[in-house]
Amino acid sequence: MDARLEQLIKDARSDGSCALRAAARLMSIMTNQPQRLGELLAGSRDWPQPRLVLGVTGAPGSGKSTITDHLAAEFRDHFPERKLGIVAVDPSSPFTGGALLGDRVRMMRHASDPHVFIRSLASRGHLGGLALGARGVVRVMGLIGCDTVIVETVGVGQSEVEIAQNADLVVVVLAPGQGDSVQMLKAGLLEAADLFVVNKSDREGADLLHQQLLSMLQRQRLARLDLASTPGEPMTCGGPMLTGPQGIVDERATPAVRVALDNETPPVFRCSAIKHEGVAELMMELKGLTDRHAVDWQNRRKGQTIEEIRLAVLEEVRRRVSDRLAPGRKGYEELERATEGNRSMAALVDELLYEAAAAGRGLQSSGC
Amino acid sequence: MNAAVKPRILIGKPGLDGHDRGAKYVAQILRDAGFEVIYTGIRRSPEQIVDTAVQEDVAAIGLSLLSGAHLALFTRVLELLHDRGADDIVVFGGGTIPPKDIPRLKEMGVAEVFTPGTPARQIVAAIDDCLLHHSVM
């Protein structure tokens, strides 16, 4: 590792006035230089890690930033001595590459709290709901002593579930008005949840959404038990069905803040983040889960490092190849020849990879 | 060094006035010019702005002021940047700032001041120019 990087790491861990600056710089290296990931990972092996990396995901406007802000407030109330990190990802424009990172607007009350470090990231064309280097940023937050890190994804649609491999727990935030019960049947986002939040519970349609979600979970639970049972043998339901006062059948009952069908089904929280309702209950659930599982999570993260390097390798290949295909470059002319049928695609790919490899040889000694 | 990474810029409004049309417009211009803009919203303290700028590792801070308190607020922001070892962050501003105060602001260390009516292209070009020698990690 180069001397400058070592100095930044030393500064970030110190109590000095430049500690925050150094940490922020390290985060920039993590997001801007994926080609150095191997070196950075080796250098960060003994860094302290957060106990909990919490993913917060959901559709645009469902209230992810507001939930994050209120969870942060609740966290600071409960654990005045502990540090919290927040990574907030917003989309980059696929047209200009620019980005407007506005998640912070909801979190400004934490801006000058020395126990909270917030970093906004632009997705930069990365499609899984996160940004390349997001894990590296989380790692730097561990380095500076964050006990918990909340990673808020871009507003996602149905299939951006990369957060599931990058967090210990995933909260999926839903808000009323986003579709009927068939949406609940679709694969993807809803499968990534460890916990659900039905947000904006003060709004019209929240009860219906709550019921649709619970009925989806009930169906999912039955399907799981059914698939696990041996044909010919009676199926065990492994617990009571949800038909009681807290449930989905009795529509007159006031829905509980927390409903869980069983231990393997994600619990559902009804929240109104803006009114700070249901957030304390969510926080206590997260605390309980962290106390029980923090050690398992530490071990699981080691396996995730391989995935991180895989992504960095793919990104470097993509970057080198797309450089060669930009208008004005030789590769672009080859593309034109291919459209005319004068160039075999297989040969073109071979050649691009060969040239990309040659370009890499000049990179190895580059610093920052 | 990666040439594809454009610098990050913070756009915010310090002080008490809440007219954010200008700030939002400049944020939009810069976004469309390919910058990553961190927008902090209205009524921020200089401390909030500087702490945010440090955490976000921005290359520049752009502040919009319509309240008349520009001298005091810019002074404070520049002081805080100095205290945090972040003097290299470029500071620019805009809004209803009387022409007579502009030389004073520049003397203090404000790189550019864009008054109402400045064409978007001029703003982008001036910021590009200010950041030309700023290293992006």
Amino acid identity for residue A39 in this structure = E
HSE, side-chain direction, 13 A CA sphere, residue A130: 22
| Separation between Cα atoms, residue A167 and residue A301, nearest integer Å | 9
Q: Judge whether A299 is closer than 8 Å to chain B, CB to CB.
A: no
In a domain, residue B137? The reply is no
Q: Would you call A105 and B36 a contact, using CB atoms and an 8 Å cutoff?
A: no
Q: Which of A289, A310, A36, A315 is nearest to A166 (CA)?
A: A310
The more confidently predicted of residues A271 and A322 is A271
Strand partners, B93: B63, B113
Amino acid identity for residue A56 in this structure = V
A123, pLDDT greater than 70: yes
**Unique residue bearing structure tokens 């006062």:** A245
Q: What is the mean pLDDT of residues A38-44?
A: 80
Whole-angstrom Cα Rg for chain B: 14
Q: Give the pLDDT confidence of B36-84 residue by residue, as tens digits.
A: 999 999 999 999 999 999 999 999 999 999 998 999 999 999 999 999 9
CATH of the domain at A128: 3.40.50.300
Give the count of domains, chain B: 1
In a domain, residue A11? The reply is no
In a domain, residue B19? The reply is yes
Alpha helices by DSSP H, listed for A133-236, are 134-143, 206-228
The more confidently predicted of residues A296 and A231 is A296
In a domain, residue A97? The reply is yes
Q: Which residue of B has its CA nearest to A25?
A: B57
DSSP 8-state assignment for residue B101: G
**Unique residue bearing structure tokens 């506005």:** A102
Of B4, B32, B47, Cβ closest to residue A112: B47
Strand partners, A57: A172
- Ranking A83-97, A234-248, B60-74, B76-90 by mean pLDDT, the lowest is A234-248
Residue-level pLDDT at A236: 65
**Tokens in use for A241?**
């069905």
The more confidently predicted of residues A130 and A34 is A130
The more confidently predicted of residues A311 and A173 is A173
Residue-level pLDDT at A150: 98
Per the CB < 8 A criterion, the answer to whether B56 and B49 are in contact is: no
A205, pLDDT greater than 60: yes
| Separation between Cα atoms, residue A318 and residue A104, nearest integer Å | 31
Residue-level pLDDT at A131: 86
Q: Would you call B32 and A101 a contact, using CB atoms and an 8 Å cutoff?
A: no
- Helix, strand or coil, per DSSP, at residue A4: helix
Contacts of B123 (CB under 8 A, 6+ apart): B26, B29, B30, B94, B114
Per the CB < 8 A criterion, the answer to whether A72 and A286 are in contact is: no
In a domain, residue A76? The reply is yes
In a domain, residue A114? The reply is yes
In a domain, residue B115? The reply is yes
Q: What is the mean pLDDT of residues B80-96?
A: 94
Per the CB < 8 A criterion, the answer to whether A156 and A58 are in contact is: yes
Q: Which residues of B touch A133 (CB under 8 A)?
A: none
Q: Give the pLDDT confidence of A287-306 residue by residue, as tens digits.
A: 999 999 999 999 888 877 88
In a domain, residue A22? The reply is no
Percent of chain A with pLDDT over 90: 40
DSSP 8-state assignment for residue B74: H
- Ranking A104-108, A124-128, A201-205, A271-275 by mean pLDDT, the lowest is A124-128
Q: What are phi and psi of B34, to 5 degrees?
A: 95, 5
Residue-level pLDDT at B6: 79
CATH of the domain at B65: 3.40.50.280
Strand partners, A148: A52, A84
Residues 5-64, chain B, touching A (beta carbon < 8 A)? 5-6, 27-28, 30-41, 44-45, 47-48, 51-52, 54-57
Q: Would you call A24 and B47 a contact, using CB atoms and an 8 Å cutoff?
A: no
The more confidently predicted of residues B133 and A45 is A45
In a domain, residue A231? The reply is yes
- Helix, strand or coil, per DSSP, at residue B99: helix
Cα torsion at A192, A195, A201, A207 (round to 10°)? 80
In a domain, residue A317? The reply is no
Residue-level pLDDT at A241: 55
Average pLDDT, chain A: 86
- Ranking A199-203, A306-310, A329-333 by mean pLDDT, the lowest is A306-310
* pLDDT band at residue A366 using 50, 70 and 90 as cut-offs: very low
* pLDDT band at residue A283 using 50, 70 and 90 as cut-offs: very high
* pLDDT band at residue B1 using 50, 70 and 90 as cut-offs: very low
Q: What are phi and psi of A32, to 5 degrees?
A: -100, -15
Q: Would you call A25 and B44 a contact, using CB atoms and an 8 Å cutoff?
A: no
In a domain, residue B2? The reply is no
Cα torsion at B45, B51, B54, B58 (round to 10°)? -30
Q: Which of B48, B49, B110 is nearest to B75 (CA)?
A: B110
DSSP 8-state assignment for residue B135: P
Residues 156-195, chain A, touching B (beta carbon < 8 A)? none
A1, pLDDT greater than 70: no
A272-306 b/e (C-beta count within 10 Å ≥ 16 → b): bbeeebbbbbbbebbbebbeeeeeebeeebeeeee
Percent of chain A with pLDDT over 70: 89
Of B37, B40, B51, Cβ closest to residue A99: B37
* pLDDT band at residue A247 using 50, 70 and 90 as cut-offs: very low
Give the count of domains, chain A: 1
Q: What is the mean pLDDT of residues A262-289?
A: 93
Per the CB < 8 A criterion, the answer to whether A162 and A129 are in contact is: yes
**Tokens in use for A365?**
């000694």
- Helix, strand or coil, per DSSP, at residue A290: helix
Of A21, A97, A111, Cβ closest to residue B34: A97
HSE, side-chain direction, 13 A CA sphere, residue A17: 7
Residue-level pLDDT at A184: 67
The more confidently predicted of residues B50 and A318 is B50
The CA-based diameter of chain A, rounded to the nearest angstrom, is 71
Q: Which domain holds residue A52?
A: 47-297
**Unique residue bearing structure tokens 């064309």:** A125
Q: Which domain holds residue B31?
A: 8-131
Q: Which residues of B touch A315 (CB under 8 A)?
A: none
Q: Which of B112, B4, B7, B12 is nearest to B52 (CA)?
A: B12
| Burial class (CB within 10 angstroms; exposed 0-12, middle 13-18, buried 19+) of A240 | exposed
B16, pLDDT greater than 80: yes
Count of other CB atoms within 10 angstroms of residue A346: 8
Q: Which residues of A touch B28 (CB under 8 A)?
A: 100
Residues 41-100, chain A, touching B (beta carbon < 8 A)? 92-93, 96-100
Q: Would you call B52 and A25 a contact, using CB atoms and an 8 Å cutoff?
A: no
In a domain, residue A15? The reply is no
* pLDDT band at residue A328 using 50, 70 and 90 as cut-offs: confident
Using alpha carbons only, what angle is made at residue B82 by residues B77 and B88, rounded to the nearest 5 degrees? 95
